[in-house]
């Protein structure tokens, strides 16, 4: 006997699913409800909300009233609606701000944005949705369109011709150009065409896709569930888009200095002795290092908030000993909580209903490192607070940084994540995991950051995360997951991290040396040379691979790595200054050339070299057995960092790059700031700052300026004004140079007596510096006032007392 099951539809052959896509139809009416403009079509409406003259939000809605709540990506304070004049005629509705015109065609519901000169910035042709809950819209693409942003994606810098999905995914392998989704989802696309750039931010935490490949003259932005809620962000420059996007979703919190030092990690340092020995080796070998990571083996059978009683029996003692060496630990904390009725965190989580559940009430269990585990529901503020508070366990031990991993969330099953029908409480507005997925990791890191801050008495916490959504920059640095020790992965890290920077993630970097597979001496050298100029700088490798601590490949390699890691520490004031800039205005620490030279056609997809800030060009070697590489220098005059060779920009050059050299160039007429070589960021020593001015000229049209931000590097006192900013200026006088400096604010007083200036590779030689005595380099190092010539580099070094009133120096050119 057969039951009806015999004729289940799927047994009758593949299902033919017809997709019908609906459009809103013509505009039928519009109204203003408080500060929101609601435009109703025949079948759906779009709500328009202007956040300021440059950003507006468009949300497709069905039914009478749009729901205008936002996801946690958007800062409430940036989301206040503003009114702008509307004009209406038979064909169009036109909204005008001081910068743009938003035009809605009534018959077609086509949406166009123009600048006030009438140039079309963006055109959205069709918004549509299907009965299964997906929506998308089509946007005009020009022959000269280029695309950037989208956070952590593989392939090259310019995303034209690519298609990507946003669905946070644990991809151990492969990280190839065809992989559409990795660990992070930042649904921000920057579209540049001609001299115009704008951003589209789709605030949807479910699966979304951006297709710049399939439609010829258009690209599409869509989502499979949830609302089609999109923000238009005006340029006209890409820099404006980045600044505005980060004003909308937040900027990085200035990290503690130790977190931008060099970090050493391995899956795993297996016991307390090994960790201590590692720290001692760094110090014995004079290789600077701030942090050692504890990967999953530090825990008691992978239970978070525990230490293994056998291998790490005395964490407090270990941490104290490390502290004396100036080394901190950052332990890993994954979201999976081991199912174990004897384990306090699990017990508490179950009893107080902190774990994600199905609608019917059953806890969702999935397998991760500890075996069967439950997952906290960070969408519930009560749970987030509980989780944050649990970190007191670590802060009581003196730990100030936490590494969040597997928070996509990763689960060892076929879908690689939580079941889509798991419900998230979402503070009383429950949503399915399908709709919430991409937010999970960010909410974990938010809970972690806030919990740490709560228990750190005014010290800045550090959180590192693998998964995230738009806005994650407010809480955590991001590393790019399980790359491999492949040259290709080293090369790919450049466009990936550069686009992350354009997407608000200013504090990001890959595992230096590569995580999986086996590194080699050359790869480790080249990757470290590049990595010390990335915002986040950690060497990490997997279990079962060749060791890749800096001394793993003999003395020559060790020596080169010491030099380059040392360089990061000497450049710390400069790098920290760029972090301050990222917090202040959202611009990334490292930048693709297109950000600074948007009119240069050679740089639209240039991503095997990058800029540190706006004036230092880094050109890593990313192929084996290579001792030369081509470098493109944009307009202006560039000086080789290593030997001062002068290059006129606007052309390619062939740079020599023996193993111990990574080509680097500084723009003539610009400053960098260096400090003392420390073994760790908070090592106490005289904080001499050296302002390096590259390529100074005596001619009257020469000017250069720079502002250096400084604070204590570890507390939140800067938010109450405890910082200083020194402005330095140089002007050619015809017969030399006038250098002056002053403190714009000086509420923070760095521990130092003297200030130093270094005129590097100047275009003139000096025969007098304001009547100061000419002294030897040694005397200079001893802290004497005066000036000296560095015979080797031709630099002119000047040392003067660091007076709050600032100062002025006339440097007279010789013949
Ligand atoms: C994941 C992480 C990796 C870590 C490993 C063990 O693969 O991406 O960095 O070492 O888990 O915790």
What is the per-residue pLDDT across 279-317, written as a single tens digit (0 to 9) for each?
A: 999 999 999 999 999 999 999 999 999 999 999 999 999
Cβ-contact 248, 470 below 8 angstroms: no
What are 334's two structure tokens? 């994954």
735 is catalytic: no
Examine the pLDDT at 12 and tell me if it is beyond 80: no
Give the residue, out of 268, 270, 405, with the most ligand 1 atoms within 8 A of its beta carbon, to mutate for a pocket test: 405
Tell me the CA–centroid distance for residue 88 and ligand 1, in Å.
57
Whether 784 is covered by a domain: the verdict is yes
Sorting pLDDT into bands at 50, 70 and 90, what band is 441?
very high
* Parent domain of 797: 686-813
Q: Whole-model pTM?
A: 0.97
Q: For ligand 1, is residue 674 a contact (CB within 6 Å)?
A: no
Length of the chain: 815
Q: Could you give the percent of the chain with pLDDT greater than 70?
A: 99
Q: For ligand 1, is residue 296 a contact (CB within 6 Å)?
A: yes
Q: Which of 222, 249, 276 is the last residue of a domain?
A: 249
Q: For ligand 1, is residue 266 a contact (CB within 6 Å)?
A: no
Sorting pLDDT into bands at 50, 70 and 90, what band is 15?
low
What are 250's two structure tokens? 């937040």
Residue-level pLDDT at 485: 98
240 is catalytic: no
222/89 same-domain check: yes
Nearest CA to ligand 1 atom 5: 267
- Residue 376's contacts (CB-CB under 8 Å, 6 or more residues apart) are 335, 337, 349, 354, 355, 356, 383, 386, 387, 444, 447
> Strands 263-264 and 291-294: what pairing?
parallel
Q: Per-residue pLDDT averaged across 735-754, rounded? A: 96
708/629 same-domain check: no
645/739 same-domain check: no
Tell me the CA–centroid distance for residue 267 and ligand 1, in Å.
7
Residue-level pLDDT at 5: 81
746/807 same-domain check: yes
Q: Which of 233, 249, 265 is the last residue of a domain?
A: 249
199/245 same-domain check: yes
Per DSSP, 698 falls in state -
Give the residue, out of 368, 406, 477, 540, with the most ligand 1 atoms within 8 A of its beta carbon, to mutate for a pocket test: 406
Examine the pLDDT at 706 and tell me if it is beyond 70: yes
Atom of ligand 1 at shortest distance to CA of 466?
8
Tell me the CA–centroid distance for residue 147 and ligand 1, in Å.
31
Q: For ligand 1, is residue 336 a contact (CB within 6 Å)?
A: no
Residues 588, 586: Cα–Cα separation, whole Å: 6
Tell me the CA–centroid distance for residue 583 and ligand 1, in Å.
28
Sorting pLDDT into bands at 50, 70 and 90, what band is 9?
confident
Residues 87, 91: Cα–Cα separation, whole Å: 11
Whether 613 is covered by a domain: the verdict is yes
Examine the pLDDT at 274 and tell me if it is beyond 90: yes
Residue-level pLDDT at 10: 72
Tell me the CA–centroid distance for residue 338 and ligand 1, in Å.
17
Whether 761 is covered by a domain: the verdict is yes
Examine the pLDDT at 186 and tell me if it is beyond 80: yes
| Strands, E assignment, 216-285 | 218-223, 229-234, 263-264
For residue range 371-418, list pLDDT tens digits in order. Answer: 999 999 999 999 999 999 999 999 999 999 999 999 999 999 999 999
Catalytic residue among 334, 408, 435, 581: 408
Determine the number of helices (DSSP H) and then strands (DSSP E) in the chain: 14, 52
What are 569's two structure tokens? 């520490």
Residues 149, 200: Cα–Cα separation, whole Å: 10
Give the residue, out of 482, 512, 544, 545, with the most ligand 1 atoms within 8 A of its beta carbon, to mutate for a pocket test: 482
Residue-level pLDDT at 815: 67
Q: Per-residue pLDDT averaged across 3-24, rounded? A: 76
Residue with tokens 């890191």: 445
Residues 631, 157: Cα–Cα separation, whole Å: 17
Q: For ligand 1, is residue 170 a contact (CB within 6 Å)?
A: no
Nearest CA to ligand 1 atom 3: 482
Q: Which of 249, 266, 301 is the last residue of a domain?
A: 249
649/751 same-domain check: no
768/625 same-domain check: no
Catalytic residue among 229, 334, 405, 583: 405
Residue-level pLDDT at 373: 98
Total structural domains within the chain: 3
Whether 578 is covered by a domain: the verdict is no
653/768 same-domain check: no
What are 50's two structure tokens? 């202007």
Examine the pLDDT at 756 and tell me if it is beyond 90: yes
Examine the pLDDT at 606 and tell me if it is beyond 90: yes
656/692 same-domain check: no
Burial of 740 (0-12, 13-18, 19+ CB in 10 A): middle
Tell me the CA–centroid distance for residue 176 and ligand 1, in Å.
19
Cβ-contact 516, 172 below 8 angstroms: yes
Q: For ligand 1, is residue 481 a contact (CB within 6 Å)?
A: yes
Sorting pLDDT into bands at 50, 70 and 90, what band is 714?
very high
Residue-level pLDDT at 7: 77
Whether 55 is covered by a domain: the verdict is yes
Give the residue, out of 152, 183, 267, with the most ligand 1 atoms within 8 A of its beta carbon, to mutate for a pocket test: 267
Nearest to 257 by CA among 812, 703, 712: 712
Q: For ligand 1, is residue 408 a contact (CB within 6 Å)?
A: no
Tell me the CA–centroid distance for residue 370 and ligand 1, in Å.
13
Whether 303 is covered by a domain: the verdict is no
| Summary mean pLDDT of the chain | 97
Catalytic residue among 308, 482, 558, 640: 482
Give the sheet arrangement for strand 422-424, strand by strand.
357-358, 422-424, 431-432
Nearest to 353 by CA among 378, 379, 383, 389: 383
Tell me the CA–centroid distance for residue 542 and ligand 1, in Å.
7
Examine the pLDDT at 6 and tell me if it is beyond 90: no
Residue-level pLDDT at 540: 98
Collapsing DSSP to helix, strand or coil, 400 comes out as coil
Q: For ligand 1, is residue 180 a contact (CB within 6 Å)?
A: no
Cβ-contact 508, 473 below 8 angstroms: no
Sorting pLDDT into bands at 50, 70 and 90, what band is 14?
low
> Strands 328-333 and 401-404: what pairing?
parallel
For residue range 75-126, list pLDDT tens digits in order. Answer: 999 989 999 999 999 999 999 999 999 999 999 999 999 999 999 999 999 8
Q: For ligand 1, is residue 466 a contact (CB within 6 Å)?
A: yes
> Strands 511-512 and 538-539: what pairing?
parallel
* Buried residues in 122-131 as b, exposed as e (16+ CB within 10 A): bbbbbbbbbe
What are 678's two structure tokens? 């420390």
Tell me the CA–centroid distance for residue 391 and ligand 1, in Å.
20
CA distances from 574 to 62, 258, 531 (A): 51, 14, 16
691/772 same-domain check: yes
Sorting pLDDT into bands at 50, 70 and 90, what band is 683?
very high
Residue-level pLDDT at 364: 98
CATH of the domain at 196: 2.60.40.1760
Q: For ligand 1, is residue 482 a contact (CB within 6 Å)?
A: yes
Q: For ligand 1, is residue 252 a contact (CB within 6 Å)?
A: no
Name 797's bridge partners: 758, 788
Q: For ligand 1, is residue 295 a contact (CB within 6 Å)?
A: yes
Sign for the CA dihedral angle at 432, 435, 440, 442 comes to: negative
408 is catalytic: yes
ω into residue 268 within 30 of 0, thus cis? yes
Residue-level pLDDT at 16: 60
Atom of ligand 1 at shortest distance to CA of 511?
9
Q: Per-residue pLDDT averaged across 450-475, rounded? A: 98
Cite the DSSP H helix spans in 367-507: 381-390, 392-395, 433-436, 440-454, 487-502
Tell me the CA–centroid distance for residue 409 and ligand 1, in Å.
13
Examine the pLDDT at 17 and tell me if it is beyond 70: no
Residue with tokens 């000169």: 117
Atom of ligand 1 at shortest distance to CA of 267?
10
46-51: Cβ within 8 A, 24+ apart: 46/109, 46/111, 46/127, 48/95, 48/102, 49/79, 49/81, 50/81, 50/82, 50/83, 50/84, 50/95, 50/97, 51/78, 51/79, 51/80, 51/81, 51/82, 51/231, 51/248
Q: For ligand 1, is residue 308 a contact (CB within 6 Å)?
A: no
Whether 206 is covered by a domain: the verdict is yes
Examine the pLDDT at 794 and tell me if it is beyond 90: no
Q: Per-residue pLDDT averaged across 683-706, rounded? A: 96
CATH of the domain at 784: 2.60.40.1180
Whether 509 is covered by a domain: the verdict is no
- Residue 540's contacts (CB-CB under 8 Å, 6 or more residues apart) are 265, 266, 267, 293, 479, 511, 512, 513, 515
Per DSSP, 254 falls in state P
Tell me the CA–centroid distance for residue 540 and ligand 1, in Å.
9
Count of CB atoms within 10 A of residue 647's CB? 17
Cβ-contact 470, 73 below 8 angstroms: yes
714/802 same-domain check: yes
613/738 same-domain check: no
């Amino acid at each position: 006997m057969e039951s009806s099951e015999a004729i289940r539809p799927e047994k009758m052959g593949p299902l033919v699913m017809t997709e019908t896509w609906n459009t809103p139809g013509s505009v039928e009416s519009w109204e203003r409800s408080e500060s929101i403009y609601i435009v109703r079509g025949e079948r759906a409406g779009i709500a328009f909300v202007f956040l300021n003259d440059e950003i507006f939000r468009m949300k497709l809605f069905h039914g009478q009233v749009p729901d205008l709540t936002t996801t946690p990506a958007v800062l409430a304070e940036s989301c206040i609606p503003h009114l702008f004049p509307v004009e209406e005629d038979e064909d169009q509705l036109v909204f005008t701000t001081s910068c743009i015109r938003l035009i809605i065609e009534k018959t077609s519901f086509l949406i166009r944005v123009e600048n006030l000169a009438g140039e079309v910035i963006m055109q959205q042709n069709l918004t549509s949705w299907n009965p299964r809950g997906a929506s998308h819209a089509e946007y005009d693409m020009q022959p000269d369109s280029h695309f950037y942003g989208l956070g952590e994606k593989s392939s090259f810098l310019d995303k034209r011709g690519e298609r990507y999905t946003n669905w946070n995914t644990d991809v151990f392998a492969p990280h190839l150009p065809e992989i559409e989704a990795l660990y992070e989802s930042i649904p921000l696309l920057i579209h540049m065409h001609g001299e115009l750039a704008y951003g589209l931010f789709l605030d949807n935490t479910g699966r979304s896709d951006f297709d710049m490949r399939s439609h010829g003259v258009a690209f599409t932005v869509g989502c499979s569930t949830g609302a089609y809620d999109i923000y238009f962000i005006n340029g006209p420059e890409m820099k404006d888009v980045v600044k505005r996007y980060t004003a909308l979703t937040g900027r990085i919190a200035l990290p503690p200095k130790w977190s931008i030092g060099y970090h050493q990690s391995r899956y795993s340092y297996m016991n307390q002795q090994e960790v201590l020995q590692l720290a001692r080796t760094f110090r014995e070998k004079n290789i600077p290092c701030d942090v050692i990571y504890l990967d999953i083996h530090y825990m008691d059978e992978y239970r978070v908030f525990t230490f293994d009683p056998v291998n790490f029996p005395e964490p407090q003692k270990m941490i104290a000993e490390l502290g004396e060496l100036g080394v901190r630990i950052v332990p890993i904390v994954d979201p999976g909580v081991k199912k174990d009725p004897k384990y306090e965190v699990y017990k508490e989580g179950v009893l107080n209903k902190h774990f994600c559940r199905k609608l019917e009430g059953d806890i969702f269990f999935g397998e991760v490192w500890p075996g069967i585990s439950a997952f906290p529901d960070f969408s519930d503020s009560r749970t987030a607070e509980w989780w944050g508070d649990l970190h007191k366990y670590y802060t009581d031990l003196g730990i100030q940084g936490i590494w969040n991993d597997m928070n996509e969330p990763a689960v060892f099953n076929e879908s690689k994540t939580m079941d889509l029908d798991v419900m998230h409480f979402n503070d009383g507005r429950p949503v399915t995991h399908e709709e919430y997925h991409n937010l999970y990791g960010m909410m974990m890191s938010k809970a972690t950051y806030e919990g740490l801050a709560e228990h750190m008495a005014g010290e800045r916490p550090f959180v590192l995360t693998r998964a995230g959504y738009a806005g994650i920059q407010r809480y955590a640095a991001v590393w790019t997951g399980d790359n491999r020790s492949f040259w290709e992965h080293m090369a790919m890290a450049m466009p990936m991290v550069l686009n992350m920077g354009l997407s608000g993630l200013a504090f990001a970097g890959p595992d230096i040396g590569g995580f999986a597979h086996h590194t080699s001496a050359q790869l480790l050298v080249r990757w470290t040379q590049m990595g010390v100029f990335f915002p986040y700088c950690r060497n990490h490798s997997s279990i079962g691979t060749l060791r890749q601590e800096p001394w793993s490949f003999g003395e020559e390699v060790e020596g080169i790595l010491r030099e380059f890691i040392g360089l990061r520490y000497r450049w710390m004031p400069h790098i920290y200054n760029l972090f301050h800039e990222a917090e202040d205005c959202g611009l990334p620490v490292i930048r693709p050339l297109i950000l600074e030279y948007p009119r240069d056609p050679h740089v639209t997809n240039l991503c095997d070299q990058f800029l540190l800030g706006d004036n230092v060009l880094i050109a890593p070697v990313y192929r084996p057995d290579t001792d030369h590489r081509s470098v493109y220098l944009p307009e202006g005059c560039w000086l080789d960092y290593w030997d001062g060779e002068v290059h006129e920009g606007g052309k390619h050059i062939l740079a020599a790059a023996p193993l111990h050299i990574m080509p680097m160039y500084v723009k003539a007429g610009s400053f960098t700031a260096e400090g003392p070589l420390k073994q760790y960021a908070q090592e106490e020593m005289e904080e001499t700052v050296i302002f390096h001015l590259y390529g100074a000229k005596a001619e009257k049209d020469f000017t250069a300026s720079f502002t250096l931000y400084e604070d204590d590097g570890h507390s939140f006192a800067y938010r109450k004004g405890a910082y200083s900013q020194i402005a330095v200026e140089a002007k050619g006088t015809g017969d030399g140079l006038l250098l002056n400096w002053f403190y714009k604010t000086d509420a923070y007083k760095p521990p130092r007596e003297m200030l130093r200036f270094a005129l590097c590779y100047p275009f003139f030689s000096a025969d007098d510096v304001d009547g100061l005595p000419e002294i030897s380099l040694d005397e200079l190092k001893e802290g004497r006032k005066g000036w000296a010539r560095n015979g080797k580099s031709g630099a002119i070094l000047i040392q003067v007392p660091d007076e709050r009133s600032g100062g002025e120096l006339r440097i007279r050119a010789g013949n």
